[in-house]
Amino acid sequence: GPKIKIHQDDDSSGAYSTNFIQVLGHDQMVYVKWWDVHFLSNGTEQDHLMFKRMPLGDATIGKTIELTGNNARPTDIGHDSVIAVGANNVYALWSEYSNLPSSQVSLILRASQDGGFSFGDAVDLNSKYNPNSGMSSAQIVTSENNLYVAGNNMSPSLGILFGASSDSGKTFSFTNVDAEAIPEFPLSQVMLVMSIASVILFYRMRFRK
């Protein structure tokens, strides 16, 4: 069909930049997420992380929701943003650097239990579950009421944090995947070296014959 503009400029002055676009389809619905930067004529900027829900095949209708507020610096919001859909639940996850140039990162989650019509309050997973480490560059995946999140462990050492929720994102349990895998690594190294040595020995014996 004909192209339809789903991004509506609130102000004709200045210019818009749209980034971090993602589209998902689920149960005859289409979900779109994007990050708006509005460059105003007075030299200032306004930033919004936007979400739109619309029926499949008719983008002219549907609800548009601003996931983020407009109280942060342009480079602070919208980073690593991602949405996921499962059952009647829709989730939005993104990073905020609210204290630049500080390295502190907030990992914000907002959940909808009505198919994207409305979203609950924003929850900072880093401050709530990992105040001493934190997660960045996170991704999410969902199955029914189960939600899983994984990302880089920022401190005290780099690694991978994995979180699981069985109640639609209300509560999480986190574990450091790398920390649990480290004890097995030396054994796997030994096995790999023995395997390579066996192959080399086999071919040398075969060559001598």
Mean pLDDT of all residues belonging to the chain = 77
* 3-state helix/strand/coil string of 145-198: CEEEEEEEECCCCCEEEEEEECCCCCCCEEEEHHHHHHHHHHHHHHHHHHHHHH
- Number of C-beta neighbours around residue 171 at 10 A: 12
The region, left, alpha or beta by phi > 0 then psi within -120 to 50, assigned to residue 131 is alpha
CA distance 150 to 175: 10
Question: Does the pLDDT at position 140 exceed 90?
Answer: yes
Write out the two tokens for 137: 């560059």
CA distance 131 to 125: 9
pLDDT of 15: 74
For the stretch 49-64, pLDDT in tens is 889 998 877 766 778 8
CA distance 54 to 32: 9
> What is the end-to-end Cα distance of the chain in Å, rounded?
71
Question: Does the pLDDT at position 90 exceed 70?
Answer: yes
- The DSSP code for 72 is S
Question: Does the pLDDT at position 72 exceed 90?
Answer: no
For the stretch 162-209, pLDDT in tens is 999 999 999 999 888 875 554 444 555 555 555 665 655 555 555 555
